[in-house]
Structure 1
Amino acid sequence: MKKLILGMAIVASAFVFAQKDANALNAKLQEANKAAMAAYDAKNYAAAAPKFIEVYDLLKSSGQDNKIYMYYAGLSHALANNSEQSIKIYTDLVNSGFTGVETTYTAKEKKSGQVVNFDKATWEVMKKNSDYTDFKTEQSKSIETDLYETLVSLLLNAKKANEALVVIDKGLAKFPNNAKLKEAQTTAYLQSGNTEKFVAGLKEQLAKNPNDAVSWFNLGVMQSKKPETVADALEAFKKAIELKPDFADAYQNLVYTTIGDDSKVVADINALRKDKPDEASKLIDARRERFAKALPFAEGWYKVAPKNIEAVTALKEIYVVTKNLDKVKEMKAKEAELSAAAK
């Protein structure tokens, strides 16, 4: 699963209201904002989230619906692994059309040198106040793609693939070339059991980025599930290894896909040995041939993962079938060594 997209920096703010009766509100805002920032900076995200919500609520009570603080709250909940709370906030933000684009209005207080944030109307009024200077405006960048990407990641992590697909469709309608949403869409198809769309999504990704080893591997996994596409699966795994030579999982899948359902073959051989020995012999020869084809893949797997006992055992069994007794002995010793080390 992809990591959450949590890249936006949180910037401390100071709040000033011009109303005569706003002193108490200002004090509460300063206190809540200070507590939120302190908790966030200390990585106490569970404590930061409700404080950011408090800042939002206090601002809203003064007529400022500044949803950036709800974004900060959702971000903090995500970092605290409070996924349900984070999902709710991000969903509300996406549905509200919030983009994060806002204009900040600041001025410097001459006496303290502190840069202070104002709402637009107050900022215009304060221009006449000789106690302030350096009046500036600044517009922030849109974080709308971040909202969609993070919400989708949260939903997929929570195994809510169908809900994720709804958000992805909505996001792609706005940002049709967003690679992260397209990749997430493929993951969501798999998670929801829609394997045909998952495979189609992988092929679409590979058409755009043929050097994506993980997508080649995932395509191979899906193709290996059907007898008619096993050959395609083998080629996909080989492509993954070509792009990522230490791709142990791709080597492993090459081994087992090449060998096939060996337990069934062995059962068939045992059932035929007595009454139909010739047919049993044909199955034995075909089995040995498959193991011989799997041998270089197993050796490659062992080379990139020499401490993986499953790789050692698989290689040992292939040497048994292909009658390489010296190598069988070597792998048995390695298997015993790894088993002892694991205790």
Structure 2
Amino acid sequence: MKKQTIVALALLVGSFSFAQKTELKNAEKAIKKNNFAEAKTALNSAESLIASADDKTKVQYYFLKGKALYANGAGTNADMDAAIESLNKIEAIEGKTGKHAKDVQDIKQGMLSSFLTKANEALEKKNYAVSSSGFEKAYRMSTKDTLYLYYAAATAVSGEDYPSALKHYEELKKLGYVGVETEYVATNKATNEEESFPSKSLMDISVKTGTHIKPQTKKSESKQAEIVRNIALIYMNQGDNAKAIEAMKDARAANPNDVSLIISEANMQLQMGDREAFKTLIQQALVQDPNNPELLFNLGIVAAEAGEIAEAKGYYEKAIELKPDYVDVYNNMAVLILSQEQAIIEKMNALGSSAADNKKYDELKDERSKLYTDAVPYLESTLRLRPTDLQAAKTLANIYSAVGDTAKYKEMKAKVDALESGQN
């Protein structure tokens, strides 16, 4: 009886093996005819038998399945995902130097090119969902190219698909993705503008032919701070401030002297409404980067909002000293100066009609006029650097009218009229 049982089982295994080979041959024939639906049907029939098959049969099955699902680029998103998974299983079984290695790589290369083409085309049309999906598939196809996963995350953010973006960013963070790349740039002689090149050799050729000058090899900035910041912002968007703070603190702990991360945490605290934490963090960043006009500008804003006029002026003046064309600082300085006008007006309105009150009224009036005089240079600088700033032009016109400078008032009123007509 034992012998018969063994023979029966052997015959049964043999029939399974025969069925597998038949279905796989049918699938192969269908693929050659580009009949991918028929191929998938045949492969589905063989699927239940694959778990017990030998490695050679498994590799053949996954290879055919990958080709059938890819369907020369016509497969659905779900089919593409399954195709990538199948091809990756081949490498897991026989390594990257096995019998099917070259064929697998050829298919993968075709798929990768297809994914990237579709992703870029979708990006140009601002179809961010399709673009993000394409870049993610490109990454799954070639996991060494983490830049594709970064693009998948960035385009998901552009498409406001925050759950997908968060998933990609978390994966990038876990991978330790930094994103620093070598950039090859040279100045175009005709346009006098810097242009990027995909390789050093192409840059060198352009320089030799005389179309470009000043070749440079640069390193792009790390994207680590951006990734952590976006993770935190997405958590905030989802109402999970605790996770947002935790994500930022983890990044800060790993990179305590990274100014961009300090600023990111400061901005996050500001969005959460904690202005004191924002101020503290910006001051920390300023210790690391004392000549950063952006930090000084932000400290000026916080001080101004707290009513610390002298302190705010000090920050703004230092920012202008470091960056003389910083238009927003000039504008904010003018706003800061004029913000003191309301208190003077209230004092003037509270006075009576006695001789002492009249004298005090004249003193307050002179104080108010001095505010106007102090604000004018900053407003003029704002308008010089940003000629279309309608609000600055209107404020200047009102000041010129208030101080009795008729000529300048008429000139500025004409500018206001021109700006307003241009907006209509």
TM-score by length of 1: 0.67
Whether 1:24 aligns to 2:105 is: no
Partner of 2:130: 47
1:159 positional shift: 5.2
2:266 touches 2:278 (CA, 8 Å); kept in 1? yes
Whether 1:313 aligns to 2:353 is: no
Whether 1:303 aligns to 2:384 is: yes
SS at match of 2:175: coil
Partner of 2:331: 252
Within 2, Cα distance between the matches of 1:282 and 1:157?
A: 54
Q: In structure 1, what residue type is equivalent to 2:317?
A: K
Within 2, Cα distance between the matches of 1:99 and 1:333?
A: 57
Partner of 2:345: 266
Give unpaired runs (5+ residues) of structure 2: 1-54, 68-82, 85-107, 179-221
Within 1, Cα distance between the matches of 2:362 and 2:236?
A: 48
Q: In structure 2, what residue type is equivalent to 1:91?
A: E
Q: In structure 1, what residue type is equivalent to 2:254?
A: K
Against the structure 1 CA distance between its residues 214 and 277, is the aligned structure 2 distance closer, same or farther, given a 3 Å change threshold? same
1:36 touches 1:47 (CA, 8 Å); kept in 2? no
Partner of 1:199: 279
SS at match of 1:250: helix
Partner of 1:277: 358
1:224 positional shift: 0.9
Against the structure 1 CA distance between its residues 318 and 165, is the aligned structure 2 distance closer, same or farther, given a 3 Å change threshold? same
Q: In structure 2, what residue type is equivalent to 1:213?
A: P
Against the structure 1 CA distance between its residues 148 and 164, is the aligned structure 2 distance closer, same or farther, given a 3 Å change threshold? farther
Which residues of 2 match residues 223-262 of structure 1 at below 5 A? Answer: 223-227=303-307, 229-262=308-341
Partner of 2:92: none
1:52 touches 1:72 (CA, 8 Å); kept in 2? yes
Against the structure 1 CA distance between its residues 235 and 53, is the aligned structure 2 distance closer, same or farther, given a 3 Å change threshold? closer
Within 2, Cα distance between the matches of 1:181 and 1:191?
A: 15
Q: In structure 1, what residue type is equivalent to 2:394?
A: T
Which residues of 2 match residues 78-157 of structure 1 at below 5 A? Answer: 78-91=157-170, 94=173, 97-99=174-176, 146=223, 149-153=226-230, 155-156=232-233
Within 2, Cα distance between the matches of 1:75 and 1:46?
A: 11
Whether 1:74 aligns to 2:134 is: no
1:317 positional shift: 2.5
Q: 2:301 aligns with which of 221, 230, 240?
A: 221
Partner of 2:409: 328
Against the structure 1 CA distance between its residues 184 and 273, is the aligned structure 2 distance closer, same or farther, given a 3 Å change threshold? same
Q: Name which structure has the greater RCO, CA cutoff 8 Å, separation 6+.
A: 1
Q: In structure 2, what residue type is equivalent to 1:221?
A: I
Aligned residues: 276
1:75 positional shift: 4.5
SS at match of 1:42: helix
Whether 1:177 aligns to 2:260 is: no
1:269 touches 1:283 (CA, 8 Å); kept in 2? yes
Against the structure 1 CA distance between its residues 282 and 204, is the aligned structure 2 distance closer, same or farther, given a 3 Å change threshold? same
1:148 touches 1:168 (CA, 8 Å); kept in 2? no
Q: 2:117 aligns with which of 8, 19, 38?
A: 38
Against the structure 1 CA distance between its residues 99 and 213, is the aligned structure 2 distance closer, same or farther, given a 3 Å change threshold? closer
2:348 touches 2:361 (CA, 8 Å); kept in 1? yes
1:86 positional shift: 0.6
Q: In structure 2, what residue type is equivalent to 1:232?
A: E
Partner of 1:110: none
Within 2, Cα distance between the matches of 1:244 and 1:42?
A: 40
Within 1, Cα distance between the matches of 2:400 and 2:234?
A: 41
Within 1, Cα distance between the matches of 2:62 and 2:324?
A: 65
SS at match of 2:301: helix
1:33 touches 1:51 (CA, 8 Å); kept in 2? no
Q: In structure 2, what residue type is equivalent to 1:20?
A: Q
SS at match of 1:258: helix
TM-score by length of 2: 0.56
Give the number of the structure whose residues are more often helix, by fraction. Answer: 2
SS at match of 1:224: helix
1:231 positional shift: 0.7
Q: In structure 2, what residue type is equivalent to 1:47?
A: V
Within 1, Cα distance between the matches of 2:368 and 2:345?
A: 9
Q: Which has the larger radius of gyration?
A: 2
Q: In structure 2, what residue type is equivalent to 1:285?
A: D
Instruction: State the identity as a percent.
Output: 24
1:266 positional shift: 2.6
SS at match of 2:305: coil
